[in-house]
Structure 1
Amino acid sequence: MTAPLPLTLPESFALTFRGYDREQVDERIDELLAEIRLLTTDRDAAVAEAEHLARQLEHARAENAELTARADRLCRAPADPAAVGDRVRHLLELAHAEADGVVTAARERAAAIVGEAEESASRRTADARAQAGRIVEDARRRAERLAAVERRTADRLRRIDAFLADAEALLDERTPLRAVA
């Protein structure tokens, strides 16, 4: 996944005759929206990978259950040592002992693989959720900063408009000067 791009807001936008340069403000908002889309895509990819790992874990569990059942079936129907000679009986006993060891080792290995897969899936899911939370929180903070900039800009524009109205009135000498807030 790509790392989130650093977001830096300018100290202020360039002032024009009637306020901030609209093109500059629009460009900055477009940049921020593109960054939010990128962060959302990253979050969605992390969630998709976590879901993929969960499916792999379920597949591994099903395969483990199938192999366990197969090993149990094979172990339940061994050859009867009483029906064969001493030498063959001894070989069968050795084979059964070895088979029991192989089955035990396979079960232990399967349990270890399932444990590792569960741990990996859990870790990746937690990482994906944490990253998604960070992305959402970062986007929320950025949106709040943009809203604050917008409020300050609107307030400045109202003051500039009032100032210009007072200046025009003063030039026209029609009305007395109003106080600028």
Structure 2
Amino acid sequence: MTAPLPLPESFALRLRGYDREQVDERIDELLAEIRWLSTDRDAAVAEAENLARQLERARTEHAELRARTDRLCRTPADPAAVGDRVRHLLDLAHAEADGIVATARERAAAIVREAEAAADRRTADARAQAGRIVGDARRRAARLAEIERRTADRLRQIDAVLADAESRLAEQAPLRAVA
């Protein structure tokens, strides 16, 4: 996010108020920055949604792999059909397979936890950034409204001074030439 554009201390005064072109140019600059900030916020929200979809796909894949592993582990060889030595080897293989399955489940759970944490962090970051962007835009809009209010107040004051000066000039008796 870029630093906000600095607001001028005041606008150049012209007859009966501020230079309209200068004020309009400044408002256009601020509106362009608000549009840019909104686009940046929308991109961050889209990224968070993309990460949420990736996490959901990872969860689905994890569930499918777990079901497949469970299915493979539940169909052991028939121990009655093999000799003692093969039975012993099958028992060792089952024990090793159980260890591998347990390790794979632990790794899968760790990957899911990491993905969830990353998605939560990115979602929180995107929401925080969106909140900052909206807050900045609101503050800038409030500043513009305040500038507009002050400008209108000054214009009313100038109009009042001019009206007062015109009425005083009208009330004064015309000067007579001294002969």
Higher relative contact order (CA 8 A, sep 6+): 2
Letter in 2 for 1:168: E
Q: Is the 8 A contact 1:19 1:156 kept in 2?
A: yes
Instruction: Give unpaired runs (5+ residues) of structure 1.
Output: 176-181
Shift of 1:82: 2.7
Q: Is the 8 A contact 1:13 1:25 kept in 2?
A: yes
Which position in structure 2 is the counterpart of 1:167? 165
Q: Is the 8 A contact 1:5 1:35 kept in 2?
A: no
Shift of 1:99: 1.1
Which position in structure 2 is the counterpart of 1:143? 141
% identical aligned pairs? 80
Shift of 1:133: 0.8
2:89 to 63, 88, 91: 91
Q: Is the 8 A contact 1:47 1:125 kept in 2?
A: yes
Shift of 1:168: 3.0
* TM value normalised by structure 2: 0.91
Matches within 5 A, 1:34-113: 34-113=32-111
Shift of 1:174: 6.6
Instruction: Give unpaired runs (5+ residues) of structure 2.
Output: 174-179
Which position in structure 1 is the counterpart of 2:11? 13
Letter in 2 for 1:79: A
Whole-angstrom CA distance in 1 between matches of 2:172 and 2:74: 109
Which position in structure 1 is the counterpart of 2:20? 22
Letter in 2 for 1:14: A
C-alpha offsets along residues 139-160 of structure 1, whole Å, 9 cap, x if unaligned? 1111111111100100111111
Instruction: Report the 3-state secondary structure (helix = DSSP H, G, I; strand = E; otherwise coil) of the residue aligned with 1:130.
Output: helix
Compute the RMSD of aligned alpha carbons: 1.5
* TM value normalised by structure 1: 0.90
Whole-angstrom CA distance in 2 between matches of 1:109 and 1:128: 28
Letter in 1 for 2:50: H
Tell me the matched-pair count: 173
Which position in structure 2 is the counterpart of 1:119? 117
